[in-house]
Structure 1
Amino acid sequence: MVWKHLNLPEPTPVQYDIAKFLQHGPRRCVIEAFRGVGKSWVTSAFVCWLLYCNPQLKIMVVSASKTRADDFSTFTLRLINDIEVLQFLRPRDDQRNSKIAFDVGPAKPDHSPSVKSVGITGQLTGSRADYIIADDIEVVNNSATQALRDKLSELVKEFDAVLKPGGRVVYLGTPQCEQSLYNSLPERGYVVRIWPSRYPVAAKREKYGSKLAPFISNKLDADPALEGAPTDPVRFDDEDLTERELSYGRSGFALQFQLDTSLSDADRYPLRLRDLVVLSCDPLRGPSDLAWANSPDQLFDQVPAVGLNGDHYYRPIFVSSDYLEYEGSAMFVDPSGRGKDETTYAVVKMLHGRLFLTDIGAYLGGYDEKTLEGLCLAARRQNVNLILCEPNYGGGMFTQLLAAKSQQLYPVEVKDAEWAKVQKEARIIDTLEPVMNQHRLVVCPSVIQKDYSSTEAYTAEDQQGYRLFYQMTRITRDKGSLKHDDRLDALAGAVAHWTEFMNRDIEKAHLSHKDAILDAELEKFMAQVIGRDRFETGKDRWSSSVMSGRRR
C-alpha cells in the first residue's frame, strides 16, 4: 500500500523478505542488507503498520546522528498524513507534532510520544518504548578506534533501560569491520539476518554461517548455479552491480554490498598470527635453522589464539638439531605512570637473522620499587645483556631509576632507546610487518600462554584489550586504533633494536656456521694424522688449499 502511494514499483522479493522478518522475527534482531535495498523505507512502513494495528505503542528511532533519526521520523509522519487509510493517526492539535517527536491521534496521554527520534549520543533515557529501531547507529566516525567502539557498545546498553517489558529492538545497518558492534550482538541474544547483493560463493558462504537469510540460502541449496548472481535482479542487475564494484573498489564493494568483512579486515589489519613461528625456546640457545609452514599439519592449537577469525598459530616444519648461543639478548621496557596503562617489557634475542621472543611481562605499578625489581629479575632470568627504555617518559628519569636498581640485582647496561618520533601505530606496523611477513619472528608458546593468563585478574571487558597478541592482530594505521598498546609497543621496540642486524641472509648465516664446524673438524683431524707441530707450521697453507678444493 505504501509503495503504491509513493508510485514505486512492486516491492521486490528481498524487500518482502525483510518485511516478513520485521513482522515475525524475534524480539531482538539485526537486519544487515546491502546499500540501496530500502531497509529504512521498509521499516518506516513497518512503523506505520504497527501504529495502525495498535495506536498505543511507543516507538523510539535511534541513529548515529540526530539528523538521520529525524529524517526517519519525518518520513513516517509524512506517510501518516498522506495515506488515506492512516489519516486517523494524524496528531491532533493538542498533541505533540514535530519531526523530533509526535503522537498519533488515538494515543492516550503519556510522557512518551508515539514516535521519537534521537541520536545515539543524545538523551535516550526519560522515555519508554515498545519498539526501538536502531537505524545505522554505527558509522565510520563512531567506530574508527577501539575507544569509540567501546563507547558505542556501552551506549546501546541503554536500550534495555528504555525498553518496556516484552518490547522489541531492531537494528538496521552495515558493519564497518570485523570488530563491528553488529558482529558482537549475537553474544547479547540478538538474531542476525544478512541479505548480500549477490549470492555468495561456497567459500564465502561459510563465513556468513547461519546469519545468511534463509530466503537466499534456500535458493542456493536448490540451485548452486546462482553463485555470484544478483539477489535482487529487478533493481540491481549484474551490470549495475559490476559498475558499482568498479566504482567502490573490491574491498569497498565487499563491505557495503556483500556485507563481507573478511577482505576488509585482511587489508586493514596487517599483522597476523599465522606469520609467526611458534617454537619452544631455550633462554640461552636457539636452533641454527628452521623453516615455517602453514599446512594443517603444522597448526599449533595448544595455546589460546585471540586473532581474527581463521587466524591461527603454526609451528615450523623443520628445526635444525644444532642449537647455538644467541648472538644477543635485549629487553625493551615501555614505562607508564600509575593508572590503567601497564609498564611492559619484551625480551627478544637474535640468532642467524631470526628473532626469538622468549619473554614478556606487564605491571600496573608504574615505576614503584616492585616494578623495577621485577624488571631486573626478568632480565637476569633471560640472561639479557642490554635493557632499552622508552625515552619519552619522564625525560629519562625511569631509565636512571632502573639503572640504579639493576646495579643491585643484575648489573647490565641500561639506556634510552632511539625511537623515531612518528605516529605510534605506523611506527609499530612498519617495524613488525616486514619481520613477520618473512617469518623471522619466533615466539615461545609459554609467552603466548603467559600473555593470555596474565589478564585473568582484570575485568572481563578489559582482558582482551591488554593482551599482546590481541593488540597485534587489531592494530591499524588509524590513530588511536587500540585502547591499549603497551605490550605491542614493547615488542616493537625490542624488534626495532635488531632491525639493523636483520639484513643478514638467514641461509648464508646457517651455511657459514656449517662451514665453521667442518673447518674445525678437519683441523682436528689433520692435527691427529700428521702431528700437531708439523700441522701448526703448515696450517695456513693447508687450510687455503683444502678450502679452495672443497669449494671447487
Structure 2
Amino acid sequence: MPEKLTDFRVFLTLVWRHLNLPDPTPIQLDIALYLQHGPRRKIIEAFRGVGKSWITAAYVVWRLRQNPNLKFMVLSASKDRADNFTTFCLRLINEIPILQCLIPRADQRCSKLSFDVGPARADHAPSVTSKGIFSQITGGRADEIISDDVEVPNNSFTQAMRDKLSEAVKEFDAILKPGGTITYLGTPQTEQSLYNQLPDRGYAIRIWPARYPSEDQLINYGNERLAPFILRWLEGEPTLVGRTTDPRRFSDDDLLERELSYGRSGFQLQFMLDTRLSDMEKYPLKLGDLIVMSCSATDAPEKPIWAAGTTNILNDVPCVGLNGDSRYYGPAFLHGTWLPYTGSVMAIDPAGRGKDETAVCVVKMLNGYLYVTAMRAYQEGYSEATLSSIVQLAKQQAVNHVIIEANFGDGMFTKLISPYFTKAHPCRIEEVKHSKQKEARIIDTLEPVMNQHKLVIDKNLILWDYNLSTKNLPPETALKYQLMYQMSRITRDRGSLAHDDRLDSLAMAVGYWVEQMGQDVDKRMLLRQDHLMLEEMKAWEGNAKGVNVKIGITNNPALSEMLFTFHGTVVKGNDDTGGHQHYKRLRNWTGGGRGTRKILR
C-alpha cells in the first residue's frame, strides 16, 4: 500500500471518490481519525446520517489491505443489517483497484455471510463474518469486533430485554483475541442504554452531535465525551451554539425540518445524542417532586411546603434517580401545627411467582397530603413469620384499613392473613382487583400526586430501601428491587421494570386516598381554627358568670348576621362577604356600651 494511504483519512477520501460521493466532511474525517488512533475499546456516537457504518466498512477493508490475516466480526441487532455491512465490504474489494488483491480465491469462503481475503492464510475463522447479536457467536474468534447498532428499540423495550442485551455483549471478551479491538457504533435510546453502561466496563465514548451544544448540553454529555473537534470550534466561535456542526451534510434549515418531523425528544436522541431530555420526558415519576422528611406514625404537619432550593437538598440521602433527577428535597417550611392523621391504610401486593416480593406499604393522610411512613418487602412467600410481621407492622402504624391485591390466587392471600389480623389487630380488610395495564395504572395514580408535591416520604424509609432492604441480594440485581429505583425507571411500556412490587403497593395505597386528595388544605386549616375558636367560646360561656353567648349565621345569600347576647343586649354584626354556611373566625373585639361587645371581621 502506498505510504500516503497509511493515513485512513486519505484512504477514506479515495473510497468516497470511487463511490462518486463528495469528499468526506470534517466530521467524517474526525471519525476516521478516531477509528484509526482511538483506544482499543471505544464507542462512536454520531448523529443519524453521518455515515458511521460506511466509514467503518471502509476502515475494515483498509485494515485488511494492510494485514490480510486479520479477522473481523460484525454484529448488529438484526442479521440482515450485519449482512449488509459485509456485502458492502465485499463490493469495495471487488470494485476498487487497490483492493482487488483481496478478492477471495475460488477455494475460499465468499458470501454475504462471511468471506476470506485472497492472501489470508487458512483459518477456522473467516476474514469478515456477520452475525446478529443474539445468534450463535460462541466459539468464534476475531481480532476486531464491530458492533453496529446492536441496540435498537425492539431489543431494549423493557428491562428484561436490556438485561439480555447487556449479557449478550459480554461474550465479546470471549471472542476477542489478545490485543484485539472492540468498536461500538450506535445511538442511545434511554439513560439505561447499553452505551451509557459500557464506560463502567472500560470503554471510551466519543460523541459528534448534529448541532453545536449549549452549556447545559455540554454538562449532559459529561466529561471527555464530546469530540474535541467540536469543542475546539465551539471555543473559537461561541456564536456557533445551535448551528449545524456539518453544514455540508445538513443545513440549519434541514435540521429544523427534521426536528419538527422527529419531535423534540426524538431529535435530541437521534441527532443530538442527549439522553437526559428523553429520560426526563419518558420517565414521568421524578424523585425530585417528593417531599422527604422524618415522619411520625401518629401525626404530621398540616401543610409541608415543597421547594427545590439548594438549602433543601438532602445530601445525606442516597438518590438513585436519572440524570437531572438525582436529588431529594426536604420541606422548605412546615405550615400550621402537627395533627393526628385522618386515616391510615396499608396496601399489600402479594408475591405472585418466581423472585417477586410480597410488598407492604403504609400511607396516611392529613389535609390532602399523603405520608408514606413505612414499607416492608418479603421474599419468604406466605410463611407464618411473614404474615405475623405484616400484622405487627399494621399494629405499630395504627392502620385502620388494609387493602390487598386479589389478582393472583383468587383471594388466597386474604384468607391466609385474615386470622392473623383478627387475633392481633382487628381492622377492615378489603380486596381490590385491577384490569388496567399495571404500568399505566401506577403512573396515572402517582404522577398527579407527585407533580403537586403532595406525596411525603419518610427519610428513614428511603435509607432502609437503599441500604438494608436488599443487602442480601447481589449488587447487580439489588437496585431493581428498590422502591426509589422502580419509581424513577417506570415507563408506560408493558414490562418496563424487572420488578415493580414495591412501587405497585405504593400506588395501591395512594389510589385509596385519591378521592380525598381534592380537599383544599387552606380551607381545612381555617375550618379547624374556627372549630378551636368555638370551643374556646363555649368554655368561656361556661366559665363566665351571668353571661349567655349564642352564635348563629343566617342563610341569606346577600347578608348574614352574627348575633351576640351579652347581659341581655343584642348587637348585630353584618357579614358583607355574601353569606356563609359555617362560623367565621373571630378576629377582634371592640368596646361598645356597658355590657355590649361588637364583632369586627
Amino acid at match of 1:9: P
Q: Indicate yes or no: 2:109 matched with 1:96.
A: yes
Greater Cα radius of gyration, structure 1 or 2: 2
Corresponding residue to 1:471 among 469, 473, 486? 486
The equivalences for 1:9-28 within 5 A come to: 9-28=22-41
Kept after mapping to 1: 8 A contact 2:349/2:504: yes
Q: Indicate yes or no: 2:84 matched with 1:66.
A: no
Q: Take 2:304 and 2:263, find their aligned partners in 1: how far apart are those partners?
A: 39
Partner of 2:516: 501
Partner of 2:400: 385
Corresponding residue to 2:458 among 422, 425, 444? 444
Q: Take 1:309 and 1:244, find their aligned partners in 2: how far apart are those partners?
A: 26
Q: Indicate yes or no: 2:219 matched with 1:206.
A: yes
Q: Larger deviation: 514-523 or 71-80?
A: 514-523
Per-residue Cα deviation, 1:302-331 (whole angstroms, up to 9, x for no partner): 211011112111111111351111010000
Kept after mapping to 1: 8 A contact 2:529/2:585: no
* Alignment CA distance shift 1:59-1:524 (3 Å): same
Q: Larger deviation: 234-243 or 14-23?
A: 234-243
Give 3-state SS (helix, strand or coil) of 1:395's partner: coil
Unaligned runs of 5+ in 1: none
Amino acid at match of 2:351: S
Q: Take 1:292 and 1:235, find their aligned partners in 2: how far apart are those partners?
A: 47
Q: Indicate yes or no: 2:48 matched with 1:35.
A: yes
Partner of 1:240: 254
Once the two structures are TM-superposed, the CA of residue 539 in structure 1 deviates from its matched residue by 4.0
Kept after mapping to 1: 8 A contact 2:72/2:128: yes
Corresponding residue to 2:69 among 50, 56, 60? 56
Give 3-state SS (helix, strand or coil) of 1:545's partner: strand
The equivalences for 1:284-295 within 5 A come to: 284-295=298-309
Amino acid at match of 2:535: A
Give 3-state SS (helix, strand or coil) of 1:512's partner: helix
Per-residue Cα deviation, 1:482-516 (whole angstroms, up to 9, x for no partner): 11000000000000111111111112112222222
Kept after mapping to 1: 8 A contact 2:533/2:585: no
Q: Take 1:309 and 1:515, find their aligned partners in 2: how far apart are those partners?
A: 47
The number of residues matched between the two structures is 547
Per-residue Cα deviation, 1:436-467 (whole angstroms, up to 9, x for no partner): 11111111100101111211211111111101
Once the two structures are TM-superposed, the CA of residue 527 in structure 1 deviates from its matched residue by 3.4
Kept after mapping to 2: 8 A contact 1:101/1:115: yes
Partner of 2:280: 266
Partner of 2:130: 117
Partner of 2:10: none
Once the two structures are TM-superposed, the CA of residue 413 in structure 1 deviates from its matched residue by 2.2
Partner of 1:307: 321
Amino acid at match of 2:212: Y
Partner of 1:184: 197
Partner of 2:187: 174
Kept after mapping to 2: 8 A contact 1:175/1:183: yes
TM-score calculated relative to the size of structure 2? 0.89
Amino acid at match of 1:97: C
Amino acid at match of 1:174: T
Per-residue Cα deviation, 1:330-377 (whole angstroms, up to 9, x for no partner): 000000146310000100000011100000110001111111111111
Unaligned runs of 5+ in 2: 1-13, 554-560, 565-582, 587-599
Partner of 2:97: 84
Q: Take 2:203 and 2:369, find their aligned partners in 1: how far apart are those partners?
A: 46
Corresponding residue to 2:501 among 482, 486, 491? 486
Q: Indicate yes or no: 2:289 matched with 1:275.
A: yes
The equivalences for 1:147-546 within 5 A come to: 147-209=160-222, 210-311=224-325, 312-320=327-335, 322-337=337-352, 339-417=354-432, 419-453=433-467, 454-528=469-543, 530-531=544-545, 534=546, 538-540=549-551, 545=563
Kept after mapping to 2: 8 A contact 1:475/1:481: yes
Once the two structures are TM-superposed, the CA of residue 518 in structure 1 deviates from its matched residue by 2.6
Q: Take 2:313 and 2:584, find their aligned partners in 1: how far apart are those partners?
A: 44
Q: Take 2:354 and 2:136, find their aligned partners in 1: how far apart are those partners?
A: 30
Q: Take 1:205 and 1:415, find their aligned partners in 2: how far apart are those partners?
A: 52
Higher helix content, 1 or 2: 1
How high is the sequence identity, in percent, across the aligned residues? 56
Give 3-state SS (helix, strand or coil) of 1:155's partner: helix
TM-score calculated relative to the size of structure 1? 0.97
Give 3-state SS (helix, strand or coil) of 1:500's partner: helix
Q: Take 2:146 and 2:21, find their aligned partners in 1: how far apart are those partners?
A: 24
Kept after mapping to 2: 8 A contact 1:15/1:38: yes
Once the two structures are TM-superposed, the CA of residue 538 in structure 1 deviates from its matched residue by 4.0
Q: Take 2:262 and 2:336, find their aligned partners in 1: how far apart are those partners?
A: 52
Give 3-state SS (helix, strand or coil) of 2:563's partner: helix
Kept after mapping to 1: 8 A contact 2:363/2:374: yes
Q: Take 2:71 and 2:496, find their aligned partners in 1: how far apart are those partners?
A: 38
Give 3-state SS (helix, strand or coil) of 2:163's partner: helix
